[in-house]
Amino acid sequence: MITRRAWLRRYSINNTMLILLQRPDATDVRPIKEWNKAGRRVRKGERGIRILAPCRYRARDDDGNPVTDDDGAPLYRVRTFKVVSVFDVSQTDGDPLPEPETGLVPAELRGAAPEHLWSGIADQISEQGYTVERGDCGSAYGFTDFPDRCVRVRDAVDDAQAAKTLIHELAHILCGHEERITTVPRTVLEVEAESVACIVAAVAGLDSLPYSVPYVAGWADDVDTARQSAERVAAVADAIITRLQASAPTAPVGAP
């Protein structure tokens, strides 16, 4: 899930899991109308991937009048869900799809990292009121000092690893781990932070699987640990990616 989430951002966690249960090798999943718009057609006889779509209705007050928000935009409510079909690109024929522009040069963890990936993540950490520094971290790659509002990343690592670690520490902050550290097992906190880092790194073009999968597996010793954190992981990862998209100096990170 954490690797596929890089391209399944449009779907909820439940629908992501439904898609991957039905088609584990999916790479680009869209409704048929979107494939038609992209110049591709679903092949005859292809079986759709079934997901749940919300049925939205215009919200109304007790007198039956339409309700709007503070800006005058109409409000909608979800009353139920319906089953709809989507299709993977492998089920279609037609015009070749353009390669997504990431705004980042793919790099391995043992090599260089795109410079603006580090700066983009560091800016998000600074916006939360923390300083960012490189230095000795003992046996860890990095840590977040909540009382002193400081994030430190080990200086004796390649830039790619340093950037991935910085994402991990930002995830600790955005997942609310300062407030939850006394009530939530450390297993959950580490699963969340590294899962977020893996998703964001994948969108950025950094393959963190050789490190992230054993790391997460070592903490997530039961299925419930991962399930409890899935929604939080997806939301925080998407928030980080959205901010990177807005601040990238060239093409947005992970742009479709």
CA 11-21-107 angle, to 5 degrees, is 65
Tens digit of pLDDT for each residue in 122-147?
999 999 999 999 999 987 889 999 99
DSSP-derived pairing of the beta strands 142-145 and 76-88: unpaired
Out of 44-53, 148-157, 220-229, least confident range:
220-229
Tens digit of pLDDT for each residue in 12-58?
878 888 998 898 888 789 999 999 999 999 999 999 999 999 898 88
Report the distance separating Cα 4 and Cα 17, nearest Å.
10
Mean pLDDT of the chain: 83
Q: Return the pLDDT at 121.
A: 94
Rounded to the nearest 5°, which phi and psi values hold at 207?
-90, 100
Report the distance separating Cα 121 and Cα 127, nearest Å.
10
CA distances from 79 to 65, 73, 82, 119 (A): 18, 19, 10, 43
3-state secondary structure (DSSP) of residue 63: coil
For the chain, which residues make up each domain, given as ranges?
4-94, 107-247
Report the pLDDT averaged over residues 174-201: 87
Report the distance separating Cα 47 and Cα 73, nearest Å.
38
Does the predicted model carry a pTM greater than 0.85? no
Tens digit of pLDDT for each residue in 64-73?
888 888 888 8
Rounded to the nearest 5°, which phi and psi values hold at 249?
-70, -20
* 63 compared with 221, residue with greater pLDDT: 63
Is residue 228 pLDDT above 80, yes or no?
no
129 φψ region: left (φ > 0), alpha (ψ -120 to 50), beta (else): left
CA distances from 210 to 103, 162, 207, 252 (A): 24, 15, 8, 26
